[in-house]
Structure formats: C-alpha cells, structure tokens
Amino acid sequence: MSRYAAVTGWGHYVPEKVLTNKDLEGLVETNDEWIRSRTGISERRVAASHETTSSMATEAAKRALARARLAAIDLDLVICASTTPDHLMPATACLVQEHIGAVNAGAFDLNAACTGFLAALIAGSQFIQSGTYDRVLVVAGETLSRFVNWKDRNTCILFGDGAGAVILEKTDEPAGLLSSVLGSQGAGGSLLAIQGGGAARPATPDTLSSGEHYITMHGNEIFKFAVRSMGQAALEALSKANLQSSAVRKVIPHQANVRILKATQEALGLPWESVFVNVDKYGNTSASSIAIALSEFLDVEPPEPGDNLLFVAFGGGLTWGSAVLRWADVGAMMAEREEGPYAI
Ligand SMILES: CC(C)(COP(=O)(O)OP(=O)(O)OC[C@H]1O[C@@H](n2cnc3c(N)ncnc32)[C@H](O)[C@@H]1OP(=O)(O)O)[C@@H](O)C(=O)NCCC(=O)NCCS
C-alpha cells in the first residue's frame, strides 16, 4: 500500500512588537512611500528581548499540535528550518523538542535560507513516504532582527521575525506532496550572506567591528534571480505533478517582495487573487515565510479535500524550490480523534 504524508496541523507565531515603515524613517534615510512601492511591505514584527528562534518555533509547534489533536510524545521527528538559529550548537530543533516534550522524536536543523521551510517539508514528507516515520513536526523560525544592520537601509527595511509549523502524518489517501523541486547555485552565495561568526570567519573583535555578523545583500541581482527562479521552479513543480496552473487553489509563495510575487503570478498565468500575500504585515521572514503564510491561509480559507496548493521559494545560498501539495480529508482524520493536550 502506498504511503502519503498529509498536513494535519498548522500554526504560527509572530512577536507582538510591530515596526512600521514610519518607525524606520527614524533609523535610516528612507520613507514609507519608497518601501511600499519597492517592496509592498508596510510593517514587520520584531522579537522582544526574551524571545528567540526556538521560543517562537515552540509556540508555532504547540499550535500545530493542537490543530492535529496530537501530543508531543506522538512525534517521531522534529525538523527545524532556520537561518538564524539560537546557537550554532545545539540545533534549534533539539530546543523545540525539549520545550514541547517530544521525548520520542529525533531532531535536526536544516538551513536552506528562505527555501528552508520548503526543503524541510520535502525532507519530512520523504521520511513518511519511505516508511521510516509516521508523524513529523516541520517547523521554521527566524529572529532576523538580531542579524540585521539597523543602519543599512538596503536590508533593514526588508526583514521580520516569526515562526510557523506543520504536522505531517502518514495517510493512505493520495494526498500530500505530489511533486517537489529543489535547486541551488552556490556561485551566488555572496549575494546574500552573513559572512562572520562561522568557521571561515570566527567571531573576533575585528569581525564584530567590521559588521561581518550582519546580513549583506546585493538587492538588484537577488531581485533578478528571484524573478527568474520563482517562475521557473513553480512551472516545473506543476509539470512534475501533471497539473495545469488552473488546477491550483492557492499559490503560497515566499514573501520577499510584492513585485517578485507579481512576476511569479504572471509566469503562472493566474489571477492575482490566486496568490496568498502577507508580506505587507510581516516583511520577509526567511525560512518562516511560507510556513506563516500557509498557516494564515489555512486559518481563513480552509481548503477542500483534493485542493492543490503550490509553494515556491528562493533565497540565500543561492537556493530555490517549489512543491505541489494536495489537501487530504483532514476533517475525517480529526473526527476520529479526541482533542489533544494543547488548546488552539
Ligand atoms: C532591495 C530592493 C527592494 C531595492 O529595490 P530596487 O528597485 O532594486 O532599488 P535599487 O537597489 O535599484 O535602489 C534604487 C535607489 O534607492 C535607494 N535606496 C535603497 N534602499 C532604500 C531605502 N530603504 N529607502 C530609500 N531609498 C533606498 C538606493 O540607494 C538607490 O539610490 P541611487 O539610485 O541614488 O543609487 C529590491 O532590489 C529587492 O527587493 N531585491 C530582492 C531582495 C530580497 O528579496 N532579498 C531577500 C531574498 S530571500
């Protein structure tokens, strides 16, 4: 019998503190009109001093478990996607595993920058389809505000903090990922990077004073790469799934810039309403972006069984990816379960 990996739970968490474009006008030479017209971003969330990638990911994970009516002890694996983990070691996935009490789960981190959630979703699905595991938590969290140079107007206007999570579960219903695409182009790695603090440039007073622990970006080149890779990857995932774009209920793309989303929509030949957009509220939350967008979409527009969702992302590395997810009859799966220990 074939095994499929259905999304049965979802959740997200964003910090309370809102940083508006107007607030940024007090930090760097910029203005609300410029940011809105070039990026579509109006505001973003910034973690409070007590919040970290693992604390936000933990909250998102608990909400996803509540939706799936599961307890953390039911999980076999925790995969955490992040570019801004709490530490180089231990993995943020292990911190989440401990905080939620997933005592029966393995745990590891995965870094594919803004493509991270998609890469983790594909990896988690493979563990289920192969028969290795039955229940996987895929979580993404980012605290980009701690790696942004708040004096660099090229980057500080773009990014935000937050986390999102899904629960993947074994089902024999033909649902879950119908296709997946992952690509990379390491030659472009320096276009979007945090150069300092790793083994190549360990933290020293020099790396700190030259700001090597901050995100650096060549915006224009990234923009062109994004427009090219998002459209191509999305079409490739559809073709691998033997679907026309008209068969897509909603496109849930990486939320980097509304102009990039428009170009992706045009490449797909779909109406703008087919694209889920929340970049205006949260900015670019890197690996968390699709996870937060998916969770918000599922909260407001629950899909019908058989609906197809199209994910597409690009990011540092350089990396890109896309996948088609077919919605399972989650209502029927939940009807057989008692409420889990967490409240939604
Ligand atoms: C960053 C980005 C919004 C810049 O928009 P753009 O239209 O390409 O703008 P440019 O970089 O050409 O800059 C145009 C001018 O605006 C200025 N500018 C840059 N940031 C500014 C800001 N925050 N406020 C006001 N002016 C700004 C530039 O200095 C430049 O001025 P100049 O013409 O005098 O040199 C855009 O390139 C982008 O979104 N790139 C992709 C970034 C991304 O998604 N990164 C994450 C990947 S996961």
Can you give the pLDDT of all 344 residues of the chain as single tens digits? 689 999 999 999 999 999 999 999 999 999 999 999 999 999 999 999 999 999 999 999 999 999 999 999 999 999 999 999 999 999 999 999 999 999 999 999 999 999 999 999 999 999 999 999 999 999 999 999 999 999 999 999 999 999 999 999 999 999 999 999 999 999 999 999 999 999 999 999 999 999 999 999 999 999 999 999 999 999 999 999 999 999 999 999 999 999 999 999 999 999 999 999 999 999 999 999 999 999 999 999 999 999 999 999 999 999 999 999 999 999 999 988 887 777 66
CA 140 vs CA 70, 129, 151, 160, 303: distances in Å? 19, 21, 27, 13, 22
The token pair at 241 is: 């799934």
> Rounded to an integer, what distance in angstroms lies between the CA atom of residue 28 and that of residue 289?
25
Active site residue 254: yes
Residue of 223, 264, 314, 319 to test ligand 1 pocket, by largest number of atoms within 8 Å of CB: 223
| Catalytically annotated residue among 21, 80, 254, 257 | 254
Start-to-end C-alpha separation, the chain: 33
Residue nearest to atom 8 of ligand 1 (CA): 220
CATH architecture of the domain 1-344 equals 3-Layer(aba) Sandwich (3.40)
Q: How, if at all, do strands 77-81 and 319-326 pair?
A: unpaired
Active site residue 114: yes
| Catalytically annotated residue among 114, 156, 257, 308 | 114
Residue with tokens 């360990």: 202
Residue nearest to atom 19 of ligand 1 (CA): 154
Ligand 1 center from residue 278 Cα (angstroms): 20
- pLDDT at residue 336 in the model: 85
> Rounded to an integer, what distance in angstroms lies between the CA atom of residue 65 and that of residue 339?
10
Q: Which residues line ligand 1 (CB under 6 A)?
A: 30, 34, 38-39, 114, 153-154, 157-158, 192, 217, 219-220, 222-223, 226, 256-257, 284, 315
- pLDDT at residue 344 in the model: 65
Nearest-atom number in ligand 1 for the CA of 256 is 44
- pLDDT at residue 339 in the model: 79
Contact present, 264 and 250 (Cβ < 8 Å): no
- pLDDT at residue 315 in the model: 98
- Hey, what long-range contacts does 105-109 have (CB within 8 A, 24 or more apart)? 105/72, 105/75, 105/76, 105/77, 105/78, 105/137, 106/76, 106/77, 106/78, 107/77, 107/78, 107/79, 107/80, 108/78, 108/79, 108/80, 109/79, 109/80, 109/81, 109/82, 109/85
Length of the chain (residues): 344
Which positions ≥6 away from 122 have C-beta within 8 Å? 177, 180, 182, 321, 323
Ligand 1 center from residue 256 Cα (angstroms): 13
> Rounded to an integer, what distance in angstroms lies between the CA atom of residue 284 and that of residue 155?
10
